[in-house]
Structure formats: structure tokens, C-alpha cells
Structure 1
Amino acid sequence: MEKIRWGVIGTANIAKKQLIPAITRARNAEVTAVATGSDIEKAEQVAEQFEMEKAYDSYEKLLDDPDIDAVYIPLPNHLHKEWTIKAAEKGKHILCEKPLGLTMDEAEQMKKAADMNNVLLMEAFMYYFHPQHERVKEIITSGEIGEVKYMRASHSFLMPEDKRKTNIRADKDKGGGSIYDVGCYGIHAIRNVLEDEPESVFVHGTKDENHGIESTSIGYFTFTDGKKAVMESSFDMTNKNEYEIIGTKGKILVPRAFRPDVQGGEGLIHVTIGDTVRTESVQGDQYRFEVEHLSEAIFNKDETVVHTLENTMDNMRVIDACYRSIAENRTVDC
């Protein structure tokens, strides 16, 4: 079977632990090259580990390789725009880590570059490729939990102070902060699971004065039909990655919403109706499904990817509103 040839721009842990192995598992993709900014030895080590044909000591050299069809960009957030645009200009299809940009304006510039160069660009919200979320939407549509009134999405992990000194997630100049890192998942889930766009948001952010980032954020969303939603993101709390949906007849809890891969790919859905709790187990390889989906779209020249750029723009618009709410300490329109 013919396969899309992938190159990886950077050697971040997520690339080595998740995406590169996922590409090797994919039925329609293969990873052929990796690049670092300057360290050829590091690139060669990763290439050897995953049996890649090529290792480069600059991102430009990888983008100049005519034998690469698509690239994965796991660089720090502040570099997403620059290297996505450069990749598009070289005719490479792109899977870029979330958040696509630091602002909606940046994301729009990236979308424009992809459109002008006829390449596909997709934001790497891998969690949504796990089939548990489609099952959740089926349960909602069935009416089993009644009319949805509320959703809460929480994503957090504890980052001690000694780790923040060297972790790019806590570096303001590199696009750090809990909303950019983990809150974006909750925002995406609220919008896509409910299949609705919030009207307004108020976000309370706890600022880490040592690093200039918001280390914990709680966002309160309202919708035109009266629904409410809450997004929680934090570097100050223990691991949590779940969402809960409450309706007039029952509720749904998804306790492994964003990282079921940590549990071998098993997603769980707890449905509570009165005093009765039903648990459904849903298996999936979300990183592999993500790679296969975009690779298939490239083969078919199909612009209808799951994470459309229009959806990405909407997510960035809401993230912009969240940061504007923190800065102005008020409710703002989304």
C-alpha cells in the first residue's frame, strides 16, 4: 500500500513518545526524516531509534527534501506560526500541535498560507479521534440524559516550581500558560461535544508571578439557549483529564477524556440515570487514528478533515476571549 511520507520538525517528547510511534503503526503512513534546529547527533539518535532514512540538523533542510509529503510540528507554541507557514510554502501538508497559534490572527495567517499553497493543515487535537466522544454524542442525541444543561471539562497536572524554571509550558515568551497547554482541550471539547458555540465567557486566572503565566484558569461559559459550561485548566493540581455533561434526566462522566492512551487506549463512559450507573468501555488508538485520518485526506485531496480550519479558528477565537477576560477581569463576548 502506498504511504504518505512524514517528516518531523523537532524532537520534543510528544514526538518521540506519541506521534512518531503512531506514524509507525499507521496503515497509510511512514516516518522518513527528523530534524533538529542544529543538533545533528540528537536527530541521528531519533532517526536510528525509529529506523528513519534521514536526519537533518536544520528544519529548512527537511522542508527542502522532495521525498517528504507531510510534516508534524511539535515545536514550542511561539514557533508554530513561523514553521507552519514555511512548511506550507514548501508544499508540505502539516499536522501542527495545539494551539495552532497564539492568537486567532496568527492562526488566520497560517490558514492563508495553507490555502495559497494548496496544502492541508490540521491542528493536532488527537483526543477527539478517540471513538468515545462520538459515543457520548450518540447518547446525548438519543435523549437518554434529557436536555443538556451543563458541561464541565477539566485538564490539569502538577508542575512543581523547580520544573517550571526549565519547562516551556511555564515560559510566557514561548507561549506558556495553562489555557494554551491544557485548557484548549476543554474549550475544544465543550464546543465540539455540545456542537454549539459559547456566547460569552468570564475567566478567573491565578497568575504565577515568577513566570508571568496563568497557572490555573477557570472559565465560565454561557450559550444562547441557556446552557452553561465550565473549563478548568491548571499546573497547580494533580492529574485530571475528564469532562461531565449534565442533563434534565441524567448525566455522563468521561474520566479519561483527553489521555485514554495512558490507560492502553481504553476510554470509559459512566452514564447515570437516577440511582443507576452504566459504564461503557470504548477502545481506540487516538494518535494513530489522527495520523491515518490526515494521511487519507492527503491521498484523496480531501479538504474535509475532522478538525477543519474553520473549527480551529472558532477555538482560537474563544481562547482569545479567555485571555481577554483575564486581562480585563470581566465577562467578554466570544
Structure 2
Amino acid sequence: MKKIGVCVVGLGFVGGQAHAPSVNKIKNGNLVAVCDMNDKLATKYSTKYGCKKYLSVKEALKDPDIDAAVIAVPNPFHYQVAMEFIKAGKHILLEMPLGVDLKQTDKIISAAKKAKVTLMPGLNFKFAPIYKEIKRMIKKDKVLGKGPVAIHFREYISANLLAAQWPPNSWAWDKKKSGGPLFTLSVWSIDLFRWLLNSEIKQLHAVAENHKLPKYKGTHGYMGYAVAEFTNGTIVSLQYSGGVSADQTISRTELIGENTNILTAIDTHTIKLNTDDVYETVYKVDAPGTRMWGHYQEVEHFVDCLAKGKTPSVTPEDGRIATEAGIQIAKMYRQLK
């Protein structure tokens, strides 16, 4: 079986530290090249993985060894870069959100369909071992009886971590260009709960605020709260923050069953089950490196589907639904003057 030649485009935090090492290890893929307008980053990763480097998409598209691209450029460039690869007949795994609005998103989906190339949204949470185990426990072990009646999700990212990833002048803080950080970071959890519940959003309401952080020279400390009702009746509350102290960074999901049991996922490593009979049972999840949040498994699935002529389980419509929900949440985000 011919290996799929892959180019990782955009070598920031996700592209450089998650996607590039993942592509480099998967069985049916070959990391042919990396691409970034930053020569220092491109040189760093091309040297590390022994692959070609390109400083522009135009250069990369001249390479006949590239069959597909994993695109992890900043939000404002998703549309432009995705369309260039699609027009060139290349398959793409496109980081979320697909576009900064639904107009861009629909154009990308339509172009991929017309060109008959695979478009897989980068929705990695459903590949993360901790959430796959949570779903197994719900479906197979029936630990929540008929299922969860309510879910409480909290994603707090410390201000110092975000400042390191997105400096004050970064695209991420400009809502007009990128949709803002709340939009950017909410899409994965929305998709996660659609997948966990095998259900669609019936209604969604949100409130949010945004304040500058002088301590970090102007990055933003957003706070967002949303409540969604799914078509199966489950109520999901979502809490997002990028304005907490370093020791408060956490991803926590509490699922309350119709049998009164509570199943909790903490970050990527711990699952707790609370019942009337046993106060608390703790399970540890071992998921090292890029497998932790599902990036390796996501890229592996994308490349395997290309190699075997299959359709990925993550569809363009999944990406559109998550993008639309993220936009709805971000509507209530008070942009600073």
C-alpha cells in the first residue's frame, strides 16, 4: 500500500507540536514536507523530521509528492489556504473552526465536494482516549443507566498559557479577523457532546464577557457560559475561561446519570465514578504525547482513510455544526473597544 504524502501547513503550537510529530509516526503516512512563512520554524521542523520545507503554499503545491495537507494556520488564513489545496486536488485535514464565519465554511465544504477531495475537520476530542473510555462506560457498562440527563463542562485555560501562545498583537484577540478566542476554543466541546450523546443541539443560549489583562500587556481574559439542550433531552452547561491563574488550568466534564451516578473526566488522565454503593472509584487513563488529546489518532484516521479509499468518520457537516454553534456562543462576547 502506497504511503500518503503529507505536508503540515502552519507550525505553531498545534501544527508543530501535535500534527507534525503525529504524521511522522503513522504507518500509512509519510511526512513529505512542512510549510510555514516563518523560516526559523520551517527549518526547525524540517531538520527535526528530515523532510522538505516550504515558506509558502504556492511552493508546496509544486511538490508532486504531496497528496494531502494537515492545515493548522491561524483562523484568518483557514479559508485561503484550504481553498488553494482543494483547487490543487489535495485532500485536507483542516483545523477548526473551518472558517471565521459560515459563508467561508460553506464555500470550503462546497469546493471540496466539487473537487472530489476529502475534507476532514480537525475535531480531535472524540479521538482522545479519556473520552472514548467515557463513551464506552456509558454505552457498554451502562454506568449512568439509560444515559446522562445533564453534563457540566468546564475548560479553564490560564492567562499565562494563552499569552505565551497568543501574544497581545496576535490574530486570536481580533474578533473581526478570527472570531475571537471564545469562538476558536468552543468548537471542540460542542462536537464532543454531539458525539458522546449521539444527539443534536435543540437550543443554545450563551453569555460572555471579555476584559484586557494589563499583567500580560493586553491579552484578554474572556469568560463564557452556555447552556444547550440536545434533542435526546440532555442539558449541557459549558464554562470557558482564559483569565484564570496558572494553577487553575483544567478541563473537567461531569456527566450525571438518570440513576444518580456521576461520571467525571478530569483533563486527559483521570476518570471518577461516584455511586450510592461506592463513594468513588478512580480510573487512570494512560495516553502519552500527541495521543493525549487525540491528535495522533485523528491524523492516523485521516491518512488511513485516504490510503484505503474510505470516508472519514468526521464529516464536513460535523465541522459546520460546531462552527455554527461557536459563532452563536461568540455572538454574546463583548468585544473590547
Which category of TM-score, normalised to the shorter sequence, fits these structures? Answer: 0.7 to 0.9
1:316 is paired with a residue of what secondary structure? helix
Q: Work out whether residues 72 and 96 of structure 1, in 8 Å CA contact, stay in contact via their aligned partners in 2.
A: yes
* Deviations, residues 186-227 of structure 1 (Å, cap 9, x unaligned): 212222212211211221101236879781111011234542
CA change 1:183–1:85 in 2 (3 A) is same
Note the C-alpha offset of 1:2: 3.2
User: In the alignment, what sits opposite 1:158?
Assistant: 158
**Structure with the larger RCO, 1 or 2 (CA within 8 Å, 6+ apart):** 2
Residue 16 of structure 1 pairs with residue 16 of structure 2: yes
**C-alpha separation between the residues in 1 aligned to 2:279 and 2:131?**
21
**C-alpha separation between the residues in 1 aligned to 2:138 and 2:55?**
49
> Aligned Cα RMSD in Å?
2.4
Q: Which moved more, 1:186-195 or 1:140-149?
A: 140-149
User: In the alignment, what sits opposite 1:321?
Assistant: 328
Percent same amino acid at aligned positions?
21
**C-alpha separation between the residues in 2 aligned to 1:3 and 1:283?**
29
Q: Work out whether residues 273 and 282 of structure 2, in 8 Å CA contact, stay in contact via their aligned partners in 1.
A: yes
Q: Work out whether residues 168 and 176 of structure 1, in 8 Å CA contact, stay in contact via their aligned partners in 2.
A: no
1:100-179 to 2 correspondence within 5 Å?
100-141=98-139, 142-146=141-145, 147-160=147-160, 164-175=167-178, 177-179=180-182
User: In the alignment, what sits opposite 2:307?
Assistant: 299
Structure 2 residue identity aligned to 1:270:
K
Note the C-alpha offset of 1:325: 4.9
**C-alpha separation between the residues in 2 aligned to 1:174 and 1:240?**
27
Note the C-alpha offset of 1:132: 2.9
**C-alpha separation between the residues in 2 aligned to 1:195 and 1:48?**
43
User: In the alignment, what sits opposite 1:254?
Assistant: 265
**C-alpha separation between the residues in 1 aligned to 2:170 and 2:282?**
37
Count matched residues. 315
Structure 1 residue identity aligned to 2:243:
D
* Deviations, residues 249-276 of structure 1 (Å, cap 9, x unaligned): 20110102xxx3xxxxxx4321111243
User: In the alignment, what sits opposite 1:220?
Assistant: 227
1:27 is paired with a residue of what secondary structure? coil
CA change 1:167–1:159 in 2 (3 A) is farther
Note the C-alpha offset of 1:114: 0.9
Residue 235 of structure 1 pairs with residue 234 of structure 2: no
Structure 1 residue identity aligned to 2:281:
R
**C-alpha separation between the residues in 2 aligned to 1:70 and 1:93?**
5
2:201 is paired with a residue of what secondary structure? coil
Note the C-alpha offset of 1:236: 0.7
User: In the alignment, what sits opposite 1:46?
Assistant: 45
Q: Work out whether residues 216 and 236 of structure 1, in 8 Å CA contact, stay in contact via their aligned partners in 2.
A: yes
**C-alpha separation between the residues in 2 aligned to 1:2 and 1:173?**
42
**C-alpha separation between the residues in 1 aligned to 2:209 and 2:235?**
22
User: In the alignment, what sits opposite 1:330?
Assistant: none
Note the C-alpha offset of 1:283: 3.6
Gaps of 5+ in 2: none
* Deviations, residues 71-113 of structure 1 (Å, cap 9, x unaligned): 1111111111111111111111111111111223322111111
Structure 2 residue identity aligned to 1:288:
Y
User: In the alignment, what sits opposite 1:62?
Assistant: 60
TM-score normalised over the length of structure 2: 0.85
Q: Work out whether residues 69 and 93 of structure 1, in 8 Å CA contact, stay in contact via their aligned partners in 2.
A: yes
* Deviations, residues 211-248 of structure 1 (Å, cap 9, x unaligned): 79781111011234542111111111231112111112
Gaps of 5+ in 1: 261-266, 328-334
* Deviations, residues 127-153 of structure 1 (Å, cap 9, x unaligned): 321233232223223432224211122
Structure 1 residue identity aligned to 2:138:
I
User: In the alignment, what sits opposite 1:264?
Assistant: none
